[in-house]
Structure 1
Amino acid sequence: MKFNWGTGIVIGIIAFMVFILQYVIRVQLDARYDNELVTEQYYQKETEINGNRIKQENANALENKLRFEISEKGIDIYFPEDFNAADIKGTVSLYRPSNQAFDQTIPLELSSNHMLIPKSRLVDGRWDITLDFTHNNTAYLKQQTLVL
């Protein structure tokens, strides 16, 4: 059989197709490449968007803003000073985009207008934090991305 440029192109295309197909099959079957959705309740989350927008507007309208700060101890969350800590009810959700196993939801149980999420509960990297709470029957929502 004579080897010419046409045969070389066909062999090259076939080799490329085999390479791509083996890569696709490996990514789909290997658990290390977990390609899950961000959330299992995608449609339910989609219906909550308008309510979340109103909560975010309430949080942005506060005179004393909600703050997230990174410290040596962990993540500090500061609520407005004019809020009574006993009246604050809600949750803090910590979402780790790179690994769902690290996601956490912490209920708010405050004795002061400051909350600390200890560094021992967190791994270094990017965290998407969502603070969803109510105070005096008004709902608030603040979302922020922090890198430890």
Structure 2
Amino acid sequence: MLARAKAKASAAGDKARTGKDKGIAKLLTTINKLRPILRSGGYAIEAVHLSTGLPPQASLKLRNVAEVDMAALEELENRQEPPLTKTQKAIVKMLQKVERLESTCNEKGYDVGRIDLTTGLIPELTLRLLPQDPSPEGDEAAAAQDGETIDE
């Protein structure tokens, strides 16, 4: 009886591992299909961090490799052949948002240092901002230059 229970537990573990492997394989296929889309939008994958939870997800570290053309991103979003998946469209929209946010960040004294894109049920975008002048003088200049007030 104990041997049968061990065998069932082992079979269940094998099935879970196989399912998880299939989930990771599917996720990596999705990422591979995203690579040319990112490249045509001016970005490339620098690194991929996998999380093997349920469902598995990935965090992509992106870098800018070419001047980003908003018209090209819009054209890419509306591409018909082959059509983009919902996830791919969401990511293209996020890249468009990055471009719009970047000019605001630049005006406020920051450069976009890195873009992290996390896949999952709802893709998430994180920008790592770097001060354009990280010196103490730069801190003072940024505070003095920004004439906006913060309402509490």
Q: TM-score when scaled to structure 2?
A: 0.29
TM-score, structure 1 length as denominator? 0.29
Higher-Rg structure is 1
Higher RCO (C-alpha 8 Å, min separation 6):
1
More strand as a share of residues: 1
Greater fraction of residues in helix: 2
